[in-house]
Structure 1
Amino acid sequence: MTAYPAWTPAARPGIVPLRPLSFGVILGRSFSALRQNPRVLLGFALAVQSVATFLGSLAIVAILIAAYLRLDTLRPGTQAFDEVMAGSIAIGFGGSVLVSLVMSAVSVIVQGVVVAEVTRAVVAEKLTLRALWTQVKPVIWRLVGYTLLLTLVVLVALGIVVAGAVVLVLSDPVSGIVVALGVGLAAIPLALWLTVKLLLVPPAIILERATITGAIARSWTLTRGRFWSTLGVVVIISVAFGTIGQLVSLPFSLATTAVSTVLAPTGDPETGFLVALVVGGVLTQVVTVLVQSVALIVQSTATSLIYVDCRMRREGLDQDLLAYVERRDAGATDLDDPYTRHIGRAVAPRAAAPGPYAAYPPPPGAYPSPPAGAYPPPAGYTPPPGAYPPPARPEPEEGSHPWVKP
């Protein structure tokens, strides 16, 4: 009795096909992946961003009030007033930077959860928030440490550039302004280049459990040869959400200004004016937080898909993902994480797919002729005259036949 293989259902489709991704697929699925698990993605991101923005704003306001409240007891123009003013500015700036760092760390946590969710959605798995947090929690301090380190490097570089520009402007205003503009213009392509080269550090930390330095090296390697497509995705998403944020917040700002003008035409701080100002500011902030949350999700999704695509092209990750999906759908339970297999493996470059029209005539030997007699003509078939010319008869050798005279 012949044994046939057991029937298995077709693999469940993920958010992207398990093959190297094109530019359009990465960009399009970055926006549409939000529908895969909106409760976890949008709900979690919106809640965390809202709480972080609210508490951060309160902290900044409290720091500024505490810093500048001492000025009310001093007379302007005195030395003590100037010293307290300088100290208040320094305290306000330092407190704002500290709060911004904390809010950046919170955003990195959201990004980590989104990366974990999207990479599981690639293999058609939808995890709960608890399961995603379990995956991100062991490496959360590495993510925060990388963010703080990157921010510190940027602030130090920016401080050096600003200090140098101030010194040049004070010594020679024209030359200082020219040099400052040149440095500013040169910093734009440098910032874009570093953004692309360091884009895959968070996915490497989360999925590969890499250290900070190891994740930087991995991102540098994986983005090699994929610079322009990655830059295109990053720039398009940033410009799109920057434009959306401006278009959405502009009507609220105009409405707040119009209502404030109607309620307080003379500019006096009346109650209605203050109420309109607070309500308009709150509404604008709510809309801004919503746009920022969606932008963070889309950017993190694009980062995850770029990571998957780079590993597919460089390390054959698509084969590991296909094997994982087939074994999982066949009922296997002892499965390893496919993203931790063959890390750093180098595969041969893939040959380009043949075009729709092959070269003609075919190369020699592409279609060998069948052996003689393999396809005999049917019975009763008479070929037309000249279809098969008779073979050339060789000249008889001298003395080969008895009737040929020597």
Structure 2
Amino acid sequence: MTESPGWTSPGSPEAPPGPTGTGHSAPVPPPAAGTAPVPPPAAGTAPAGPGIGLIPLRPLGFGELMDGTFALVRRNWRAAFGLTLALAAVLELLQAGIDWWIHTGGGGTEPLLSANYLAPLALFFGVLASGLLAPVVSNGVLGRDTSLAEAWARARARLGRLTCLCLLLAAIGIGALALAVVPLLLLAFATDLPGLLALLLLTVPPVVWLTIRLTLAVPALVLEEQPVLGALKRSWRLSRGAWWRIFGLTLVFRLCLTAVAAVLAGPGEIVDMVLEGTSGGGAGDGSTAIGIAAVAVFGTVARTVTLPLEGALQTLIYVDQRIRREALDLELAHAAGLPGYARPAAAAPSGA
């Protein structure tokens, strides 16, 4: 599979010559000889940008990013769902094991917390899925389809660094949360519960702020072949000045994915509740095992659908930020071979 060009960071030895400004103000090259000029946009409308596939190569709006995410995953559904199916199945099998253990010998309060046992692993798999989907999205931006074998071949070459980055991001998140929560827990004995809850709420914004600033590290590592620390630095630079925009996109999209997951996983929950009600919930009862299996099956479907959507949005935000800051759209248009976006030929040496 041919590597998608145009993803190296500005100033790197591999970066091709091109505009690297801090906004979308780079001049568009004139059309090549013999091609019809592109008509100007109508008054009051934004430039459409060069069209290649499902995503126009220009700064994208809020709705365009979300629509483009669904469109890219739908077009490459075999690669997208194939890469995340194994991750979803592992999570749901572990969750089913926990549910069965709680059913046969767990305490009365543990079922309320069972969904949180795998939360760290679910976050880790979510970040990993974003890295696996980054090549699929990058090809989709250029109007190219990606098979499951091609997507895995590109992701496998970076799987070691991607895993290290996932672990480092998890450690940073846990460390930031611990630094904020531990002092409050030490004060728990000297304050009442409402005061403690208010202090705990104050610890959430710093952790969320740090998470958003580092959210573009995964696509930077995969698409730019950055080292782990270099990917973190790239995310920090690309998200500067765009925190609220990235936060809003991520929040709204995750709320949408939560609703989608609830619809897809709902039949399994209904089957489990019906069987539990008819059997009385006895330990070791066969109908309870069937209910847990139904929850696992439908939960796997829900995670298989939502994991690639979340990862695709993350990569699209990364592409959009580079278009806004580094005029990446011109380089991608050249890589796609659009008329009028070819680089000028190098001048011949004098006396040739």
Regarding TM over 0.5, the answer is: yes
Q: How many residues align?
A: 291
**Which one of 137, 144, 155 corresponds to residue 125 of structure 1?**
144
| 3-state SS, counterpart of residue 235 of structure 1 | helix
Offset at 1:247?
4.4
Partner of 1:299: 310
Partner of 2:203: 187
Partner of 2:70: 31
Change (3 A) 1:262 1:49: closer
Task: Specify the code of the residue in structure 2 equivalent to 1:316.
Answer: A
1:141 aligns with 2:160: yes
| Equivalent-residue separation in structure 1 for 2:251 and 2:131 (angstroms) | 21
Greater C-alpha Rg:
1
| Equivalent-residue separation in structure 2 for 1:157 and 1:249 (angstroms) | 32
| 3-state SS, counterpart of residue 125 of structure 1 | coil
| Equivalent-residue separation in structure 2 for 1:166 and 1:185 (angstroms) | 13
1:214 aligns with 2:230: yes
| 3-state SS, counterpart of residue 326 of structure 1 | coil
Stretches of structure 1 that go unaligned for 5 or more consecutive residues are 70-88, 336-406
Offset at 1:64?
9.2
Offset at 1:280?
1.4
Change (3 A) 1:302 1:102: closer
| Equivalent-residue separation in structure 1 for 2:305 and 2:171 (angstroms) | 26
1:280 aligns with 2:319: no
CA-to-aligned-CA distance 1:72-131 (integer Å, 9 cap, x gap):
xxxxxxxxxxxxxxxxx9xxx9xx97x776665554443222111111111111233333
Instruction: Tell me: higher relative CO, structure 1 or 2? Use CA pairs within 8 A at least 6 residues apart.
Output: 2
| Equivalent-residue separation in structure 2 for 1:7 and 1:128 (angstroms) | 33
1:6-405 matched pairs, under 5 angstroms: 13-54=52-93, 56-57=94-95, 105-170=124-189, 172-174=190-192, 177-250=193-266, 252-264=268-280, 268-269=282-283, 274-326=285-337
CA-to-aligned-CA distance 1:182-241 (integer Å, 9 cap, x gap):
332223332332232111100110011112221112111112232232222101111112
Moved more, 118-127 or 182-191: 182-191
Offset at 1:254?
4.2
* TM value normalised by structure 1: 0.61
Offset at 1:286?
1.9
| Equivalent-residue separation in structure 1 for 2:308 and 2:165 (angstroms) | 19
Offset at 1:34?
1.5
| Equivalent-residue separation in structure 2 for 1:262 and 1:28 (angstroms) | 43
* Contact 1:199/1:219, CA 8 A, preserved across alignment: yes
| Equivalent-residue separation in structure 2 for 1:235 and 1:164 (angstroms) | 28
* Contact 1:105/1:148, CA 8 A, preserved across alignment: yes
Offset at 1:20?
1.6
| Equivalent-residue separation in structure 2 for 1:254 and 1:35 (angstroms) | 28
Change (3 A) 1:323 1:44: same
Task: Specify the code of the residue in structure 2 equivalent to 1:262.
Answer: T
Partner of 2:28: none
| Equivalent-residue separation in structure 1 for 2:220 and 2:147 (angstroms) | 22
* TM value normalised by structure 2: 0.70
| Equivalent-residue separation in structure 1 for 2:276 and 2:218 (angstroms) | 45
Task: Specify the code of the residue in structure 2 equivalent to 1:168.
Answer: L
| Equivalent-residue separation in structure 2 for 1:19 and 1:279 (angstroms) | 50
Partner of 1:73: none
Stretches of structure 2 that go unaligned for 5 or more consecutive residues are 1-31, 37-49, 344-352
| 3-state SS, counterpart of residue 210 of structure 1 | coil
